Amino acid sequence: MILLAAVVVSVEVISRKLLAFAFSGSDEIAAYLFAVGTSWSLAYVLVTRGHVRIDVLYGHLGARGKAAFDLIAVVGLAILVVAIVDRAGALFLDNLMGANRSNTPLRIPMSWPQAPWLAGFVLFLAVTVLAVLRSLQALIRGDFATVTATIGVPSQDEEVKGELGSLGIGTPDAGEKK
């Protein structure tokens, strides 16, 4: 989505500078694409444990304490996402029922970009609720490893391994497993 937005803006800038032809709306379309792309990426970032957390005390806790902090964090996130979905849903429905259009030359019905934007937040809520339920179930069983794997803060080793993997570089122990 962000790449598409960059292409749209680039084409508009090049056509304006080189061809003396300007078409309006590229910034509006880019903003819609950015908003939709952002809302859809939130669920992925949660699943890959990429959300930023402040973990000053976290490293000094045992497995049970870390699991409790992880669960508190994801429940807080779920509460925030419920509020976001509530407000985004109300905004979408208001614009849909009112047939509101953007106040730009394109006059795009506001519900068109807001529908996929809202869907991204709904997906994020569903993934967050599933993460809460899976982690709560694991915590009740005493399975702190599953809590950490689901919602915990990645260790430095995990982050290094992930970065090396994304670069196509294997870790030393990767070739030794049989």
Note the pLDDT tens digit of each residue in 1-38.
677 777 877 877 787 778 777 667 778 888 898 999 99
**Cα–Cα distance for residue pair 48/165, rounded to 1 Å:** 14
Interval 55-79 mean pLDDT = 91
79 or 11, greater pLDDT: 79
Note the pLDDT tens digit of each residue in 161-171.
878 888 888 76
Burial of 37 (0-12, 13-18, 19+ CB in 10 A): middle
pTM over 0.85: no
User: What DSSP assignment string belongs to 58-108?
Assistant: GGGS-HHHHHHHHHHHHHHHHHHHHHHHHHHHHHHHHHHHTT-B-SSTT--
Predicted local confidence at residue 3, as pLDDT = 79
Predicted local confidence at residue 178, as pLDDT = 43
Predicted local confidence at residue 22, as pLDDT = 67
Integer-rounded Cα radius of gyration of the chain: 22
Interval 80-85 mean pLDDT = 98
Predicted local confidence at residue 173, as pLDDT = 60
Note the pLDDT tens digit of each residue in 105-156.
889 999 999 999 999 999 999 999 999 999 999 999 999 999 999 999 887 7
Predicted local confidence at residue 171, as pLDDT = 62
Among 41, 25, 45, 28, CA closest to 117: 41
